[in-house]
Chains A and B, each alone.
Chain A
Amino acid sequence: MADAKETLIPAEENSFRLEAYLARGGYEAARKTLLSMQPGQVMDEVKKANLRGRGGAGFPAGSKWAFVPKADDQPKYLCVNADEGEPGTFKDRAIMTRNPHLLLEGIVLTCYAVGIHTAVIYVRGEYESIARRLEQAIGEAGLKGFLGADVFGTGFGLEVYVHRGAGAYICGEETALLESVEGKRGWPRLRPPFPASIGLFRAPTVINNVETIANVPLIFRYGAEAFVAQGLPRDGGTRVFGVSGAVKKPGLYELPVGTSLRKIIYDWAGGPAEGQGIKAIVPGGLSAPFLTPDEIDVPMDYESLAHIKSMLGSAAVIVIGDRTPIIDVLRIVARFYAHESCGQCTPCRVGTTWISKTADRIAAGGGVPGDLDLIRRLAEGMKGKTLCPMGDAAAFPVLSMVGKFGRELEETISRRAE
């Protein structure tokens, strides 16, 4: 086994090639595990590692898998969510571009643990070259017997398919993703039933984010204890923080779960861009409530961020410089959700567009007293009242902007109304 510790996004050139992955010790963890462990033990190990979902909601992966019925008499599916549509998020594309076999090895382990023989990687439409790279990797792994009818000679069968989306944000929502794979319009499903009991093609289905699955081989390579030790006791491992916006060194930084936001921005991303201060920070993808600069010392893990009423989400950090008027941020955020609302349920369909139109009006100088209260009421009308989490996703950033930057917005309204 190679000495250097495997990372989700290796720096070496051609890191995506099978030979390179094998040279780094790739597929050894899966081989050993499949030859020596029972599926139940595999699941227990993942539970022990406290691997939480990297897609946004942070649900513990092991528990999610345990919801799937054990019986082997019906088809079950794994859907790997590679739709990566959350604004600010660009980690999965890097993992898939530079380490596709790590993802495939994770798929092998996950499917073995849950008793799944068919996996689908749902890749967002824009990631055309990534889809090709994944297909190539699947072909290579199949030739080696890492996938296919007889994985590692154990008799365990596993087919992996790449399915490309068509560019809708909502298809990253797990049930809309299932509809899309089934060839239907990407509309979220009413829950219950949850995908673990009725999912893809009405069969029990596990849906996990790319980064979540890519972490699974590391648990087996280095052990669950090491995985936990790397992060926090209840939130193990590392996160790939994607920093963008008004910083000197935007990019992806794989750091332990719980690293402070200040450290990420100042120590790794080089601090705010030249000549600017920080006005606001999005800590976990656009759907996360905005933070103010005085909240910058928060440790970046699910619970710490929930404690200050924000969320870790996809761990995409967007830094907004102090030269940026908040009304412009509000306008752009609102326009994104209005554009991406699927149109199925009322509050999101109408609420997102209404907020967007109101923000546009304010930005154009047509603000009137009461506009902020109206926006707050509209966002409250969506929060927790929509069919899928998108209503919350659209409401959270808006509510936090109106709440935390209300004075600036009020000034905008009164100044432009003069």
Chain B
Amino acid sequence: MVTIQIDGQTLQVPPGTTVLKAAEKIGVLIPRYCYHPAFEPEGSCRMCLVEIEDLPKLDLACSTVVREGMTVWTSTPKVLQARQEVLGFFLADHPLDCPICDKAGECFLQIYYDQHGRYASRFLETKEKKKKKVPIGKDLLLDRERCILCTRCVRFLCRVTGTGELGVFERGVKAEIGIDEGAPVANNYSGNLVDICPVGAITDRDFRFKTRVWFLENRRSICPRCSRGCNIVIQSICGYPLPGNERRVYRIVPAENPDVNGYWMCDLGRSGYHDIEDNRLDAIAVKGEGAAAGQPLSWESALKGLVSDVRAAAAFGRPPRLGLILSSFLTNEELEASRRLFVESLGAKHVFFADPAPGKADGLLLTADRAPNRRGAQMAGFEPKPPDLVGLSESVDLLLVFGPHILDHVPVEEAARAFGKIRRTYLLAAHRSALDEVAEVVLPTAVPAEKQGSFTNTNGLKQHFERALKPSRGRRAEGAILAGLAAELNVKLD
């Protein structure tokens, strides 16, 4: 260990630690733009200059490695002045269009100006004019007037995706980020460029002008779109400034987890917020009821019906004439409840899974398995495979289907034929699908973001997550439905 002193505090850090990282350990956050913990120090923004005793000039905190006995000062007048100067340089040509900039509120030009700037501008010259709406691929737009040339985006594409779509063109104050003609950003990790841009230079059409970041509520969850289990933050607004109690998810961003996803997440997962907002089932539907009568069905009566249907299927003894098509979108806790209730207590034998057809792994984070908890299902003792629907339809009187993914394995007509032979079929699903017309009863359920529980990722890592969003009215988590059922049937789940 190396003993150093930062701002009068003595601390010990491993050899090779940089001054910036050592300072973080004692809660001293040295401002930085080009530095990102995922990359080697770049040293170009010059924002992290600090005073190191016995050195004639200020030195970079991001790249200077600690030496035994080193004494560092991070807030001397000299350092503060250098920070003001660097900010002054950044802001000289900055368009100051914060009122229409999506980064406002989480922009490090604003944050550092507030913390370290607070000077009166002395810039009397004409600002550099640059292009403000350059499409650089996917849904990304580049504003070159806002860009501070930290090159985090360029380095991300070189070092993380290895695709290298962005580069620096031109020289000096004319230097700008750009793509080669006809070769836009086209990888599955483009959204990270928006996250790592410390200013509003790279924005996403999907988020542009939709809201202001200070209205967003940030809650952690786990991305359900593949079996990696990337840690995410779901950014939503519930209520003001939306009318009434309206809830809307605006963005999903990665949450740092060195064991799973590092600092990143893929675009497929990022667009997963559409799964939360779009195409949702929002009312209970029973064939021939409700809709025709113009009356929404209540959960009480629907659950009562479910309880009596389960009782009826179990009345013939063991095994009951009850089939289950579970899903690897269910949490470990929901799978465990299903096992206790249906398999252990009622002795159900016809237990299957229907998951999305595998996609293509991309070699970085995205796995081929497009459900979050298949590993958890396996570890809970299930064999997650789809059923032979024809055989199943002859063995059961009641079929409970979790999610619409049986349609990833059989055409809807075949599902309809099989379901038609079964006395009673329930679909518990979060999203609309062709299966809605096939099942007799449709119960709208919650998506993982609206649940708490755990998923076990492809590497066998069990990750707990809290509820990031309240399920909107009319929807219930599968776990709650199972718990209600268990209570009615006098089965203890824990």
Q: Which of B44, B56, B88, B125 has the most CB of A within 10 A?
A: B44
Please tell me if B49 contacts chain A, counting CB pairs below 8 Å. yes
Please state if B46 and A338 are interface contacts (CB–CB under 8 Å).
no
Task: Give chain A interface residues in 347-372, CB to chain B under 8 Å.
Answer: 347, 349-354, 357-358, 361, 368, 370
Please tell me if A309 contacts chain B, counting CB pairs below 8 Å. no
Task: Give chain B interface residues in 88-135, CB to chain A under 8 Å.
Answer: 88-90, 92-93, 122-126, 128
Contact of B58 among A346, A351, A385 (CB under 8 A): A385
Please state if B168 and A384 are interface contacts (CB–CB under 8 Å).
no
Please state if A381 and B124 are interface contacts (CB–CB under 8 Å).
no
Please state if A357 and B148 are interface contacts (CB–CB under 8 Å).
no
Min Cβ gap A167→B in Å is: 11
Cα(A367)–Cα(B63), bound, Å:
40
Please state if B93 and A185 are interface contacts (CB–CB under 8 Å).
no
Task: Tell me which residues across on chain B come within 8 A of A377, comparing CB atoms.
Answer: 85, 122
Task: Tell me which residues across on chain B come within 8 A of A168, comparing CB atoms.
Answer: 171
Please tell me if B86 contacts chain A, counting CB pairs below 8 Å. yes
Please tell me if A37 contacts chain B, counting CB pairs below 8 Å. no
Contact of A343 among B46, B58, B149 (CB under 8 A): B149
Cα(A282)–Cα(B264), bound, Å:
52
Task: Tell me which residues across on chain A come within 8 A of B89, comparing CB atoms.
Answer: 346-347, 349-351, 354, 381
Main secondary structure of the interface of B (DSSP, over half): loop
Main secondary structure of the interface of A (DSSP, over half): helix
Cα(A387)–Cα(B49), bound, Å:
11
Please tell me if A292 contacts chain B, counting CB pairs below 8 Å. no
Task: Give chain B interface residues in 168-210, CB to chain A under 8 Å.
Answer: 168, 170-175
Task: Give chain B interface residues in 63-92, CB to chain A under 8 Å.
Answer: 63, 82, 85-86, 88-90, 92
The residue on B at minimum CB distance from A342 is B171
Please state if A357 and B125 are interface contacts (CB–CB under 8 Å).
yes
Please tell me if B217 contacts chain A, counting CB pairs below 8 Å. no
Task: Give chain A interface residues in 377-400, CB to chain B under 8 Å.
Answer: 377, 380-381, 384-387
Please tell me if A344 contacts chain B, counting CB pairs below 8 Å. yes
Please tell me if B448 contacts chain A, counting CB pairs below 8 Å. no
Task: Tell me which residues across on chain B come within 8 A of A338, comparing CB atoms.
Answer: 172-173
Please state if A346 and B168 are interface contacts (CB–CB under 8 Å).
no
Min Cβ gap B137→A in Å is: 21
Cα(A344)–Cα(B171), bound, Å:
8
Please state if B172 and A341 are interface contacts (CB–CB under 8 Å).
yes
Please state if B92 and A350 are interface contacts (CB–CB under 8 Å).
yes
Min Cβ gap B33→A in Å is: 8
Task: Give chain B interface residues in 273-287, CB to chain A under 8 Å.
Answer: none
Task: Give chain A interface residues in 300-345, CB to chain B under 8 Å.
Answer: 338-345
Beyond A385-B58, A386-B46, whether A341 also contacts B173 by CB under 8 A is yes
Cα(A385)–Cα(B85), bound, Å:
10
Please state if B46 and A387 are interface contacts (CB–CB under 8 Å).
yes
* Interface range on chain B (Cβ under 8 Å from partner): 35 or more
Please tell me if B42 contacts chain A, counting CB pairs below 8 Å. yes
Please tell me if B45 contacts chain A, counting CB pairs below 8 Å. yes
Cα(A168)–Cα(B60), bound, Å:
26
Contact of B124 among A339, A340, A347, A358 (CB under 8 A): A358
Please state if B125 and A347 are interface contacts (CB–CB under 8 Å).
no
Beyond A343-B149, A343-B175, whether A381 also contacts B125 by CB under 8 A is no
Please tell me if B318 contacts chain A, counting CB pairs below 8 Å. no
Please tell me if B57 contacts chain A, counting CB pairs below 8 Å. yes
Task: Tell me which residues across on chain B come within 8 A of A381, comparing CB atoms.
Answer: 82, 85-86, 88-89
Contact of A346 among B41, B148, B170, B174 (CB under 8 A): B148
Please tell me if A374 contacts chain B, counting CB pairs below 8 Å. yes
Task: Tell me which residues across on chain B come within 8 A of A71, comparing CB atoms.
Answer: none
Task: Give chain B interface residues in 152-172, CB to chain A under 8 Å.
Answer: 167-168, 170-172
Task: Tell me which residues across on chain A come within 8 A of B63, comparing CB atoms.
Answer: 190
Min Cβ gap A83→B in Å is: 15
* Residue-wise interface mask of A (118-159) relative to B, using a CB-CB cutoff of 8 A (1 in contact, 0 not): 000000000000000000000000000000000000000000
Please state if A361 and B124 are interface contacts (CB–CB under 8 Å).
yes
Contact of B44 among A344, A352, A357, A370 (CB under 8 A): A344
Cα(A357)–Cα(B128), bound, Å:
11
Please tell me if B43 contacts chain A, counting CB pairs below 8 Å. yes
Min Cβ gap A363→B in Å is: 13
Contact of A385 among B82, B90, B148, B174 (CB under 8 A): B82
Cα(A368)–Cα(B63), bound, Å:
40
Task: Tell me which residues across on chain B come within 8 A of A344, comparing CB atoms.
Answer: 44, 149, 175
Cα(A29)–Cα(B42), bound, Å:
44
Task: Tell me which residues across on chain A come within 8 A of B168, comparing CB atoms.
Answer: 185, 187, 343
Task: Give chain A interface residues in 102-122, CB to chain B under 8 Å.
Answer: none
Task: Give chain B interface residues in 234-279, CB to chain A under 8 Å.
Answer: none
Task: Tell me which residues across on chain A come within 8 A of B174, comparing CB atoms.
Answer: 343
Please state if A343 and B125 are interface contacts (CB–CB under 8 Å).
no
Task: Tell me which residues across on chain B come within 8 A of A351, comparing CB atoms.
Answer: 89
Min Cβ gap B484→A in Å is: 61
Cα(A48)–Cα(B177), bound, Å:
49
Task: Tell me which residues across on chain A come within 8 A of B122, comparing CB atoms.
Answer: 370, 374, 377
Please state if B46 and A350 are interface contacts (CB–CB under 8 Å).
no
Min Cβ gap A402→B in Å is: 15
Task: Tell me which residues across on chain B come within 8 A of A190, comparing CB atoms.
Answer: 41-44, 60, 63
Cα(A171)–Cα(B429), bound, Å:
63
Cα(A408)–Cα(B175), bound, Å:
34
Task: Tell me which residues across on chain B come within 8 A of A357, comparing CB atoms.
Answer: 125-126
Task: Tell me which residues across on chain B come within 8 A of A350, comparing CB atoms.
Answer: 89-90, 92-93, 173
Task: Tell me which residues across on chain A come within 8 A of B45, comparing CB atoms.
Answer: 345-346
Task: Tell me which residues across on chain A come within 8 A of B128, comparing CB atoms.
Answer: 353
Cα(A342)–Cα(B89), bound, Å:
15
Min Cβ gap B35→A in Å is: 11
Please state if A347 and B86 are interface contacts (CB–CB under 8 Å).
yes
Please state if A346 and B82 are interface contacts (CB–CB under 8 Å).
no
Please state if A387 and B44 are interface contacts (CB–CB under 8 Å).
yes
Task: Tell me which residues across on chain A come within 8 A of B125, comparing CB atoms.
Answer: 354, 357-358, 361
Beyond A341-B171, A381-B88, whether A346 also contacts B44 by CB under 8 A is yes
Residues of A in contact with B (beta carbons under 8 Å apart): 168, 185, 187, 190, 338-347, 349-354, 357-358, 361, 368, 370, 374, 377, 380-381, 384-387
Mind listing 10 A-B residue pairs with CB under 8 Å? A190-B42, A190-B43, A341-B172, A343-B170, A345-B45, A349-B175, A352-B173, A357-B126, A381-B82, A385-B49
Q: Which 8 A-B pairs have the closest CB atoms?
A: A343-B175, A381-B85, A357-B125, A350-B89, A190-B43, A341-B172, A353-B173, A384-B57
Given contacts A344-B44, A347-B89, 19 further A-B contacts (CB under 8 A): A190-B42, A343-B149, A343-B172, A343-B173, A345-B45, A346-B45, A346-B90, A347-B86, A349-B149, A350-B173, A357-B125, A361-B124, A374-B122, A377-B122, A381-B85, A381-B86, A384-B58, A385-B49, A386-B46
